[in-house]
Amino acid sequence: MINFKKSAIALLFICHFSILTVYLINPEKIDVINLYVEPIFRQNWHMFAPNPLTFSSRLVVKCSDKDGWIDPTMGLLEKHSRLPLVHYQKSIFLFNSISQTLLDSRTTFKNETHCGNVSLKHCEKSFKDWIRPKDAFLKATHIGKQICGTTSLKIHLGVYIEHAKAYSTSLKIQNKGAEILELN
């Protein structure tokens, strides 16, 4: 009886990990498997693969009463390398994923909806099903308010994008492409 129980449990174990394996190696996700995996066992191990990111993006803020773009992550990286075990890296991640999400949703909108050239703000309504972009946008606005204070009439949000240089054997650097995408 005990052996029967054990065998049943072991079988469940094997089934579980077989499903996970199918989930992980199959690029086209299967609905039934998703239904089982996604809620609790959702995972993604494509760390920097198949190809790593070839650009960095940062959230930048411009206040109407000040010149220039302000980068809220200024100094965080250096602080992180000094005190790696506190929250600095998570703060970098915070700003980074906000900018990344805004950037992603922007390009998606460009492709899929009428929101392509309209500012993100005007598109806010169609964000209904886009919880993360909306959350990211609200968080970014909040950060903007914190930076500019109440004196600014208008707060501009932007994503600073920096494209990585392509590798060449001489490692001679071309001018790196960098741009600021204004979001509103």
Residue 65 or 118: the one with the smaller Cβ distance to other proteins is 65
Cα angle value 160/163/168 (rounded, 5°): 160
CA distance 24 to 152: 49
Nearer to other proteins, 38 or 182 (CB): 38
Residue nearer to other proteins on the CB measure, 43 or 117: 43
Report the distance separating Cα 8 and Cα 151, nearest Å.
68
CA-to-CA distance for 184 and 182, rounded, in angstroms?
6
Amino acid type, 166: A
Distance in Å, CB of 170 to other proteins, minimum:
10
CB 115 → other proteins: shortest distance, Å? Answer: 17
The distance of closest approach from Cβ of residue 74 to other proteins in the complex, given in angstroms and rounded to an integer, is 5
Tell the smallest beta-carbon distance from residue 75 to other proteins (Å). 4
Helix axes 131-148, 88-112, angle to 10 degrees: 120
* Residue 35 or 117 having the CB closest to other proteins: 35
